[in-house]
Amino acid sequence: MRAPLRAALLAVAAAFALLAAATPPPQLKALLPKVALHTEFVVAVNKLGQVTKIVSLKPSKNRTYNLQTGGNALQAFIRTPDGKAVSGTYRLTYDYNPKTQLVHRGVALLHAGGVDPNATGAVNVMIEDVKKRGKKPPSPGPERSAEMTPAPQPTGKLGLPSLQQILKTPEP
């Protein structure tokens, strides 16, 4: 009785495998831009390496690409290879290559200091905004800066917290 059941299961699995192999992959390449794109953002970074705001930008001609790279810039954490953070102003560049269909992000320190090292990261501000909108409708009240929460205290190696500590999320 086990042999016929095993044979039936193998036949069904083989049928699904053939069906999956016969299904063409989605044509995502048709949605990708056909020309090279470039955006530049000048961002302020706090003492934890979090981007706190976009100071200025040089957009490309593609609005969708600008929105995607702008969102990525706001979520960036910038730290040195040894894990230290230097608060200051940085230039983030995003270059899309239509031949490879990849985006290269470049990071360059323009100058250290000159920003609020204790400013709340843009990601934390976005999370708080979402939490507030989930509980009650947004009101045209005080400026966003008055609603910001204080930055977390450094506790990790090198005196810097981990990403999970910064975002106050549990470890996976």
Residue 15 forms part of a structural domain = no
* Contact by Cβ (8 Å): 80, 86: yes
Q: Which residue has the tokens 């975002």?
A: 167
Q: Which residue has the tokens 């100071």?
A: 55
Q: What are the start-end ranges of the H helices in 24-162? A: 63-74, 122-135, 144-147
SS3 153: coil
Residue 147 forms part of a structural domain = yes
Residue 69 forms part of a structural domain = yes
Amino acid code (one letter) for 148: M
Triad 124, 75, 96: Cα angle to 5°: 165
Answer whether residue 156 shows pLDDT above 80.
no
Higher pLDDT, 165 or 22: 165
Residue 103 forms part of a structural domain = yes
Residues in the chain: 172
Averaged pLDDT for residues 80-93: 95
Residues 6+ apart with CB under 8 A from 139: none
Out of 21-30, 104-113, 147-156, pick the least confident.
147-156
pLDDT confidence of 8, banded at 50, 70, 90? low
Residue 24: its pLDDT value, please? 54
Residue 1 forms part of a structural domain = no
Domain tally for the chain?
A: 1
Residue 160 forms part of a structural domain = yes
Residue 146: its pLDDT value, please? 47
Q: What is the pLDDT of residues 13-71, one digit of tens each?
A: 655 565 555 555 566 667 889 999 999 999 999 999 999 999 999 999 999 999 999 99
Residue 110 forms part of a structural domain = yes
**CA distance to 47, 82, 90, 91, 168, per residue, from 160 (Å):** 9, 12, 19, 22, 14
Residues 6+ apart with CB under 8 A from 98: 32, 33, 34, 35, 36
CA distance 48 to 120: 9
Reported for 8-11, long-range contacts at CB under 8 A and 24+ positions apart, including other chains, are none
SS3 47: coil
Domain that holds residue 89: 30-167
Q: Which residue has the tokens 């990790």?
A: 156
Residue 19 forms part of a structural domain = no
